[in-house]
């Protein structure tokens, strides 16, 4: 080897290694954007369907396999009804309780916990007992909750003023005057939690419709949460951030939009108590509410018909003609049904029913908030000072809601790689603009946005991330705007059509939580039972 060529090859090596290094720096983080099937979904809006190619008959058709639909099907099944079909656009039933799995753990794509149930929700607590969440029998004075499902400690932490603190209520670096306001606010919420109306009912409870109609409370539905805070003189920016965080977290709605009544409901409606759990405890699983959905689904498998887009439902004599587009076969098919439950959001229901008046009403009154949820697969992360990695990890003043750690409920030692589920309600624009902007964003742009947010708390996030998968929920949930909870619109939209067609969805419940969906399904199913006849 000549000296020159020796030097050249050394130089070559240097070039190669610096190229490798620079690739590393700007490495492309893998993963993809998964939409809750909006392409197929939009066919309903945009496509003209031909005549169906086949016809079958069933006693009950349930459109939508989210929690409402599954809960309805489960009730009917328990009542002995077997001639059921559940149609859903997605490959898996579960709706907002969707989940995924990789080599580390399962993880949620949407809703990821439920609070300790209120003790008077008998059907719901029975369900909880069936899936082993409640371990004591129904006669026990207080239900005992399965310790493995109550969120482990450390539960929540907030990154604020340069370090992590325990819990999400701002504490670290908060001036005394603001702390006093925060305490005032919490005291007011506690009073609302215990309050009863003139009618003797709880002022705030679950399901929302069981709450008192006492105007002393319902009048709060005519103003926004922010207005109410102003009225109360609760002007602390830290408090306002916290309240806004909570309303965004549960409803994808900012506090200057949400009804004050629903905003307070979030803080005041939880009254559950167990022998080993309090109302502020939550139940969670690696796959989030997908775990509960799986239990709902257990005995319903034979009824499932996935990748089925319901295109229209028409009255035909004494029956309903349900036409659906079979995505796999790319053909339109018809089911003749006695009874039908539309367990889909109202904007979809209106299109399926080809009911222009309903569609107008929905557009006028209901807004659906878009969300982005990302699942981040990562190696060990560097930490700022303060409490260690918790279940829920929130960054003060971030547009995101922070992330939830999916392996938190695992008992094994030596977990070094993790799944972080990152939540971002797209509240910066109007919902329509938000949806459009979200669908136009590339994977790389989402990753950049996430990394920039999380870099504040984990300096090595770029190197630690193995993969990011992004899910866009175009219409994640109906916003509980003023006038929805205690106005008339929900009743108008929820009224059954000709005793054959019933509605069940959380946009009719007033807020989007698991219990509401569960009871939406139950009450629709009960209506179906009163009208069913013949071979079921």
409 to 428: interface string for other proteins, x by CB under 8 A: --xxxxxx------------
Please identify, using beta-carbon distances, which residue of 148 and 430 lies nearer to other proteins. Answer: 148
Q: How many residues bind other proteins (CB under 8 A)?
A: 20
Calculate the alpha carbon distances from 361 to 224, 238, 258, 355, 428 in Å. Answer: 21, 37, 19, 10, 24
Q: Which stretch binds other proteins (CB under 8 A): 72-80, 276-284, 336-344, 459-467?
A: 276-284
Count of helix runs (H) and strand runs (E) in the chain: 17, 19
Q: Residue 189: how many CB atoms within 10 A of its CB?
A: 16
Please identify, using beta-carbon distances, which residue of 152 and 267 lies nearer to other proteins. Answer: 152
DSSP three-state, residue 401: coil
Bridge partner list, 122: none
Please identify, using beta-carbon distances, which residue of 147 and 199 lies nearer to other proteins. Answer: 147
Please identify, using beta-carbon distances, which residue of 2 and 25 lies nearer to other proteins. Answer: 2
Minimum distance from CB of 468 to other proteins (Å)? 23
Please identify, using beta-carbon distances, which residue of 149 and 473 lies nearer to other proteins. Answer: 149
122 to 151: interface string for other proteins, x by CB under 8 A: -------------------------xx-xx
Close Cβ partners of 122 (under 8 Å, ≥ 6 residues apart): none
Q: Which of residues 508-527 bind other proteins (CB under 8 A)?
A: none
Which stretches of 236-367 are assigned E, i.e. beta strand? 282-284, 304-305, 308-316, 319-326, 331-342
Closest by CA position to 373, among listed 256, 289, 302: 289
Minimum distance from CB of 411 to other proteins (Å)? 4
Q: Which stretch binds other proteins (CB under 8 A): 33-41, 83-91, 125-133, 407-415?
A: 407-415
152 to 171: interface string for other proteins, x by CB under 8 A: xxxx----------------
Minimum distance from CB of 379 to other proteins (Å)? 11
Minimum distance from CB of 2 to other proteins (Å)? 7
Nearest 5°: the CA angle 170, 171, 176 is 115
Among residues 102, 222, 276, 398, which is the contact residue for other proteins, using CB under 8 A? Answer: 276
Close Cβ partners of 452 (under 8 Å, ≥ 6 residues apart): none
**Is the C-alpha dihedral spanning 21, 32, 466, 444 positive or negative?**
positive
Minimum distance from CB of 186 to other proteins (Å)? 21
Minimum distance from CB of 514 to other proteins (Å)? 20
Q: Which of residues 279-298 bind other proteins (CB under 8 A)?
A: 281
Q: Please tell me whether the peptide bond between 145 and the residue prior to it is cis, using omega within 30 degrees of 0.
A: no
Q: How far apart are CA 437 and CA 434, in angstroms?
A: 5
Tokens of 306: 């996935």
Q: How far apart are CA 212 and CA 202, in angstroms?
A: 6
Please identify, using beta-carbon distances, which residue of 146 and 459 lies nearer to other proteins. Answer: 146
Tokens of 327: 């995505």
Q: How far apart are CA 65 and CA 72, in angstroms?
A: 10
When asked if residue 180 is in the footprint of other proteins (CB under 8 A), the reply is no
Calculate the alpha carbon distances from 154 to 157, 285, 296, 407 in Å. Answer: 8, 15, 29, 13
Minimum distance from CB of 150 to other proteins (Å)? 5
DSSP three-state, residue 24: helix
Please identify, using beta-carbon distances, which residue of 150 and 374 lies nearer to other proteins. Answer: 150
Q: Residue 17: how many CB atoms within 10 A of its CB?
A: 10
Please identify, using beta-carbon distances, which residue of 388 and 534 lies nearer to other proteins. Answer: 388
DSSP three-state, residue 127: helix
Minimum distance from CB of 158 to other proteins (Å)? 17
Minimum distance from CB of 149 to other proteins (Å)? 10
Minimum distance from CB of 108 to other proteins (Å)? 19
- For 335, phi then psi, to 5°, come to -120, 130
Per DSSP, 277 falls in state B
Minimum distance from CB of 195 to other proteins (Å)? 28
364 to 393: interface string for other proteins, x by CB under 8 A: ------------------------x-----
Q: Which stretch binds other proteins (CB under 8 A): 184-192, 198-206, 274-282, 479-487?
A: 274-282
Calculate the alpha carbon distances from 19 to 6, 14, 25, 420 in Å. Answer: 20, 8, 10, 31
89 to 128: interface string for other proteins, x by CB under 8 A: ----------------------------------------
Bridge partner list, 254: none
| Binding interface with other proteins (CB under 8 A) | 1-2, 147-148, 150-155, 276-277, 281, 388, 411-416
């Amino acid at each position: 080897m000549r000296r020159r060529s020796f030097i050249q090859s050394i130089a070559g090596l240097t070039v190669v290694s610096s190229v490798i290094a620079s690739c590393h720096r700007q490495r492309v983080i893998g993963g993809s954007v998964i939409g809750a099937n909006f392409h197929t979904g939009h066919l309903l809006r945009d496509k003209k369907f031909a005549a169906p190619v086949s016809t079958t008959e069933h006693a009950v058709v349930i459109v939508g396999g989210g929690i409402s639909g599954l809960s309805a099907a489960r009730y009917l099944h328990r009542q002995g009804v077997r001639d059921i079909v559940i149609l859903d656009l997605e490959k898996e039933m579960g709706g907002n309780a969707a989940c995924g799995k990789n080599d580390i753990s399962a993880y949620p794509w949407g809703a990821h916990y439920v609070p300790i149930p209120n003790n008077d929700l008998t059907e719901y607590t029975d369900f909880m007992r069936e899936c082993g969440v409640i371990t004591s029998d129904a006669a026990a004075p207080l239900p005992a909750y399965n310790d493995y499902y109550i969120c482990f400690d450390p539960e929540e932490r907030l990154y604020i003023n340069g370090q992590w603190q325990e819990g999400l209520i701002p504490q670290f670096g908060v001036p005394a005057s603001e702390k006093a306001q925060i305490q005032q606010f919490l005291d007011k919420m506690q009073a609302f939690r215990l309050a009863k109306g003139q009618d003797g009912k709880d002022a705030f409870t679950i399901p929302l419709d069981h709450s008192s109609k006492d105007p002393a409370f319902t009048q709060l539905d005519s103003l926004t949460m922010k207005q109410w805070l102003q009225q109360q003189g609760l002007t602390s920016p830290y408090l306002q951030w916290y309240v806004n965080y909570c309303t965004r977290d549960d409803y994808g709605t900012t506090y200057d939009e949400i009804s004050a009544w629903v905003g307070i409901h979030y803080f005041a409606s939880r009254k559950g108590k167990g022998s080993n759990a309090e109302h502020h405890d939550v139940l969670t699983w690696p796959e989030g509410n997908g775990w509960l959905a799986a239990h709902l689904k257990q005995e319903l498998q034979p009824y499932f018909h996935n990748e089925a887009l319901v295109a229209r439902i028409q009255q035909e004599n004494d029956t309903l003609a349900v036409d659906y587009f079979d995505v796999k076969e790319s053909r339109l098919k018809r089911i003749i049904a006695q009874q039908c439950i539309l367990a889909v959001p109202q904007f979809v229901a209106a299109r399926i029913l080809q009911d222009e008046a309903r569609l107008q009403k929905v557009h006028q009154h209901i807004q659906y908030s878009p969300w982005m949820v990302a699942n981040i697969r990562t190696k060990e992360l560097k930490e700022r000072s303060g409490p260690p990695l918790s279940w829920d990890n929130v960054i003060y003043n971030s547009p995101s809601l922070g992330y939830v750690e999916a392996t938190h409920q695992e008992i094994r030692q030596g977990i070094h790689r993790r799944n972080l589920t990152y939540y971002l309600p797209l509240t910066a624009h109007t919902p329509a603009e938000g949806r459009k902007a979200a669908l136009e964003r590339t994977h790389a742009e989402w990753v950049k946005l996430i990394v920039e947010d999380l870099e504040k708390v984990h300096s090595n996030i770029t190197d630690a991330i193995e993969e990011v998968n992004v899910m866009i929920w175009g219409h994640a949930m109906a916003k509980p705007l003023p006038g929805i909870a205690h106005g008339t619109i929900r009743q108008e939209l929820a009224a059954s059509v000709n005793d054959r067609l019933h509605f069940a969805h959380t946009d009719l419940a007033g807020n989007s939580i698991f219990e509401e969906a569960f009871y939406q399904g139950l009450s629709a199913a009960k209506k179906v039972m009163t009208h069913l006849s013949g071979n079921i």
